[in-house]
Amino acid sequence: MRNHLLLFILWIAFDVHAQVRTGPVLGPVEFRTASVWYALEGDDLWELECWPEASPEALRRFPAEESRRFEFRMAKFYLTGLAEGTTYHYRIVCRNTTLPPGERASFRTPVLWQYRQPAPDFSFLAGSCAYFNEAQFDRPGRPYGGDSTIFETMSKEPAAFMLWLGDNWYYRESDYNSNWGLWYRAYRDRSLPCLGKFWKAMGHYAIWDDHDYGPNNEGAAFVFKEEATRVFNAFWNNPSAGSREGGIYTRFSYSDVDFFLLDSRSFRDSDELPDSVGGVPNPDKRMLGKEQLQWLKNQLANSKASFKIIANGSNFLNRFNRYDCLVHYPVEYNELLHFIEDERIDGVVMMSGDRHHSDVICNNLRDGYLLCDITNSALTSGVHRTSDYERSNPDLIASMLIEQNNYTRASVRGASGERVLKIEFVGTAGQALSSMEFLQKDLRFLKN
């Protein structure tokens, strides 16, 4: 009898781990709000306890916003009425049973600095192409997914947040031919233990590219795109997602930097269409779509940020990328670059993923303004050896070409008007591989 009691207590003690399949996964942490999600199993009722580190007696409980699709159960918690510049602890607790609470995690809200003090220095991480092997559904032969300890390394970074630049998981043939398959892949890959520490170490923002949207190179024609959007929004907590037309584009700010997160898939015409017809750019070949590009232009025009970071799954500026780049959508490429010049949009820096190597490509705009596209790839997927043709690109910053698994560590520092954005590509074990600095004062057009 005593043994049965012991077994029962052990079952209770360990079962919480079976109930919480994934999480906590921290979303954006704002001045007065934060969000966190879990993937849950079973039917128990859960809520989130949250309290300031300095005053545990101020503990509050928040209800779950639950969603279910097929057998997949997600719970999102929106923590509201927080204080700025404050450290909070939180944990998930079961309401209807004596299951023990989930593990405790922490976050710190940013300091409300506007009109009060200089913009705070900060750092963030970025990366793309995270492939996780599942042999029975993968191509036979050498596994495509590599060393997942990169996420352990990243979880130790004192960064404010992670920006996922697309191909954040890889739908296989067995996934993207059904709605269920899309949920299966995201649910399975997000629950892998190698990601556990990273999920709670910092907030997460994301855009997608083809492989976490649908089949390779897929665009507006994808027959499951509404479901893919639902999956994306279930597994990320971006501030908003697209417009009534659909899509997942959005923006956020951190300190004095604005981030414009683009959707390179939902509105995309096929890469196979000709770039130009009859000697002029093909008006029927768009990557972002009219509405999203107009949105971006309005956002850029309104932004007062020191750096305006535009993030896209596909490359922006690489003329020597034969396949998958805004260059091959010349109507939109010309429209965006002319807009930046004509409206004198200061401080623009582009970030992209997808390529299975990292590099920086720069274009000279008017007045010596150097517009650069920082491509970061791959977190864990196979690495691409760049061709001699690509290496001969005069726009390539040769010292920034990295052909091994890596992530971006970006830091913003300096006095007002003289801010510096430092980009480092960092290897799996945390070793700095290359770095480059962007000076706010160099990313300026002359005024009339």
Supply the minimum distance, in Å, between the C-beta of residue 272 and Fe ion: 16
Q: Is 109 left (phi over 0), alpha (psi -120 to 50) or beta?
A: beta
- The smaller minimum CB distance to Fe ion, of residues 231 and 257, is found at 231
- The smaller minimum CB distance to Fe ion, of residues 310 and 325, is found at 325
- The smaller minimum CB distance to Fe ion, of residues 157 and 167, is found at 167
* Helix, strand counts (H, E) of the chain: 8, 22
- The smaller minimum CB distance to Fe ion, of residues 212 and 335, is found at 212
Which run of H or of E encompasses 337?
Answer: helix 330-342
- Residue 251 sits at the vertex; the CA angle it makes with 312 and 106, to the nearest 5 degrees, is 105
Site for Fe ion, rule CB under 5 A: 167, 209-210, 354
- The smaller minimum CB distance to Fe ion, of residues 46 and 232, is found at 232
Supply the minimum distance, in Å, between the C-beta of residue 384 and Fe ion: 11
Supply the minimum distance, in Å, between the C-beta of residue 381 and Fe ion: 10
Q: What would the two tokens of residue 14 be?
A: 């360990």
Supply the minimum distance, in Å, between the C-beta of residue 166 and Fe ion: 6
Supply the minimum distance, in Å, between the C-beta of residue 325 and Fe ion: 11
Supply the minimum distance, in Å, between the C-beta of residue 182 and Fe ion: 16
190: DSSP letter: H
Supply the minimum distance, in Å, between the C-beta of residue 237 and Fe ion: 22
- The smaller minimum CB distance to Fe ion, of residues 270 and 294, is found at 270
CB 139 within 8 A of CB 183: no
3-state secondary structure of 216: coil
331-340, Cβ contacts within 8 angstroms, sequence gap of 24 or more? 331/281, 331/282, 331/283, 331/285, 331/286, 332/286, 332/287, 332/288, 332/293, 334/281, 335/293, 336/293, 336/296, 336/297, 337/363, 337/365, 337/371, 339/297, 339/300, 340/300, 340/365, 340/371
- The smaller minimum CB distance to Fe ion, of residues 210 and 346, is found at 210
Centroid of chain to Cα 386:
24
